Structure 1
Amino acid sequence: MKKISGNTGSVFLVIISAMFWAGSGLGAQLFFVHSSENAMGLTAFRMILAGILLSGICALSGKIRPGIKKLLHSPRLFLDIFIYANAGLMLMAYTYFEAVHVGNAAAATVILYTSPAMVIIYNSIRYVRLPSRRDIITVCLAVSGTFLLVTGGDFSKLSVPLLCVELALFNGAVYAFSSIYPKHIFLQMDKTFVLALSMLLGGLSSWALDPGMHWSAFLASDVRLNVFCIVVLGTVIAFLLYNIALMYISPQQALITAAAEPASSVIMSWLFLDMDFGGVQTVGILLVLTAIIVPALMKK
């Protein structure tokens, strides 16, 4: 009975974290409406502040000293974390925020969740093997859903800016890389410590790319709530809840419940941003969500 209760609670935590991630996308969309700061500046502020907050959590739990000691004994790990921080987390945050900036949070979030299909195609090419029936279903659903979402049924034009589509697809590829690359790091070091250090390193790199950003702009009264949703809820708390939940549920269950993020983004956009989705676009969104859920169910 306790196992069932713990499992249910963990699934609930994943859903909450997914909703917070979706909320950070809406927060970014509203931020760009009220602020002249660009996506790189928002990336720098988000990652540096989140890194500081996560470092504080690590300090309270006594994880900083063991983490530093591990890095001193294994300098290669620091290089791996640096790659993860910049080619993974920083690039993932920037391309997502830029996609939201030129398009909207709902479209960017749904399209980036075609990343499982990208991994399948990549593995098929790399290992020169035909995909399984489950993999073929995943790719077909994801591609069809994205196509319907971005065209709205009118194949002569796009209902979503082309740059938003390109950035979201690239973001999906970076998302896939960020999910695969750090596995060997997490096996050797505490996840929260790695995430805190990666956030700081990625934030400093993005700040170097946009040294003219105005820090005070992120504390203005008209964007303060949006920044809170992006940094605190959508980054620090979301990652912590998700990592806690992964200790008690299977990867398949985590994948199924992760579909709550694009679904939440669409629902929140409809509720709070008055965005209307046509019938064809709705079908496209449902196909992408199905592409996330069905393969996990078939694997179970």
Structure 2
Amino acid sequence: MPRLTASRSVSGFILALSAAIFWGISGTCAQFLFEQKEMDPAWLVSWRMLLAGVILILFAIFRKDSDAFQIWKSHKDIIQLLIFSIFGMVTVQYTYFYSINLSNAATATVIQYIGPVFVVGFYALKNRRWPSLMEYSALFLALAGTFLLVTHGSFQVLVISEKALFWGILSAIALAVYTIQPVQLLRKYSAPTVTGWAMVIGGIMFSLYTKPWMVSGTWDMGTVGAFSYIIIFGTVISFSIFLYSLTLIGAQTASLLCSVEPLSAALVAVAWLGVTFTAMDWLGTVFILVTVAILTLAKKPEEKQANPTDINQASLT
């Protein structure tokens, strides 16, 4: 039995880490498409949600004890799903990809990871309590890490544009909304059902603005490869193996391991796209990852219900 338990733990660790690495590389693929293939971020978001959403719904349909269509039998749940689709799914995806377009995958991913700080703030206000000492420490580290990322320690200059910083912070806030809003749905329905339908609905509604039938960017084998990676490995496979890792090692451990995502985004962006990441950038990244670790370990019971963070902090973002 101990050997079996150890084997399950190792498998869970590998799966969770693989999912985080897949998500990080997905952000770098998006940067490649924006910079070198002139693809519109909104167009990519539309197709990612539509294609990945359909695959996830099919996955939900063929699951044992499928609840793929149960969600449509309650008017209250339909309204919640529509709200999540627009203000959660579409918002978190677009702000993240657009912030990549304005800066780079590494910086955008790390900044989005301050999202849990906004989650803590929400629950502090909701429950009318002051944050704990650990939460205050996490807030300080998040602010310090963001400061180092966007200024390299100087009070006089930004190393990314004000617009990139604005959209990066907006993506972190969107991540917090994405984390909190669908809690009630996730207590009743499986994650593939909620996420799949939210992506399809969001993709259809966003398509009214993006017109996905009008092809964006320069298409060649590199474009096809990066685009396919984002849909298959960066969304469907990463989502599936991360869900399975939750059953092996638990949500808290799996969520901590997913902090590897910004590191993988940074390493791949530096090695593949030649992104400059200075010592200050790495230090800022470490500060923000420590923030995530502190908030995950100190998470309150009501926050542990927020399953979307466990499913994907950035790249179902």
- 1:57 corresponds to: 59
1:92 maps to a residue whose letter is V
1:62-81 aligned at under 5 Å gives the runs 66-68=67-69, 70-81=70-81
Q: What residue number does 1:48 align with?
A: 50
| Percent identical | 26
Cα deviation digits, residues 201-234 of structure 1 (max 9, x gap): 0111111111265247586433111101211111
Counterparts in 2 of 1:178 and 1:20: CA distance versus 1, 3 Å: same
Provide, for residues 177-211 of structure 1, a one-character-per-residue CA deviation record: whole Å limited to 9, x for no partner.
21222222122122212222111101111111112
| d(CA) in 2 for partners of 1:21, 1:173 | 19
Amino acid at match of 1:181: Q
Tell me if structure 2 keeps the 8 A contact 1:107–1:160: no
Seen in structure 2, the aligned counterparts of structure 1 residues 45 and 63 have a Cα distance that, compared at 3 Å, is farther
2:121 corresponds to which residue? 121
Equivalent position SS for 1:275 = coil
* 1:32 counterpart residue number: 34
Offset from partner CA, 1:245-271 (integer Å, 9 cap, x none): 122323321231121111111111122
- Structure 1 residues without counterparts, runs of 5 or longer: none
Are the structure 2 counterparts of residues 20 and 253 from structure 1 closer, same or farther at C-alpha, using a change threshold of 3 Å?
Answer: same
- Structure-2-length-normalised TM-score: 0.87
The letter of the residue matching 1:67 is A
* Local SS of the residue matching 1:148: helix
C-alpha offsets along residues 64-91 of structure 1, whole Å, 9 cap, x if unaligned?
6x432x2343122122111111111111
- Number of corresponding residues: 298
Corresponding residue number in structure 2 for 1:255: 255
The 1-side partners of 2:24 and 2:157 are apart by 27
- Contact between 2:90 and 2:202, CA under 8 Å: does it hold in 1? yes
CA RMSD of aligned residues (A): 2.2
Evaluate the alpha carbon distance shift between residue 218 and residue 91 of structure 1 in structure 2; reply closer, same or farther with a 3 A threshold: farther
CA contact (8 A) 2:103 2:164 kept: yes
Preserved CA contact (<8 Å) 2:47 2:212: no
AA paired with 2:11? G
Do 1:27 and 1:230's aligned partners in 2 also have CA atoms closer than 8 Å? yes
Alpha-carbon contact 1:54-1:193 (below 8 Å) kept: yes
Give distance in 2, aligned partners of 1:204 and 1:232.
Answer: 19
Query: Is 1:292 the equivalent of 2:292?
Result: yes
1:97 paired to 2:97: yes
**CA distance in 1 between partners of 2:56 and 2:65 (Å):** 11
State yes or no: 1:13 paired with 2:33. Answer: no
- How far apart are residue 136 of structure 1 and its match? 0.8
- Give TM-score scaled by structure 1 length: 0.91
Write the distance in 1 (CA, Å) between the matches of 2:38 and 2:120.
39
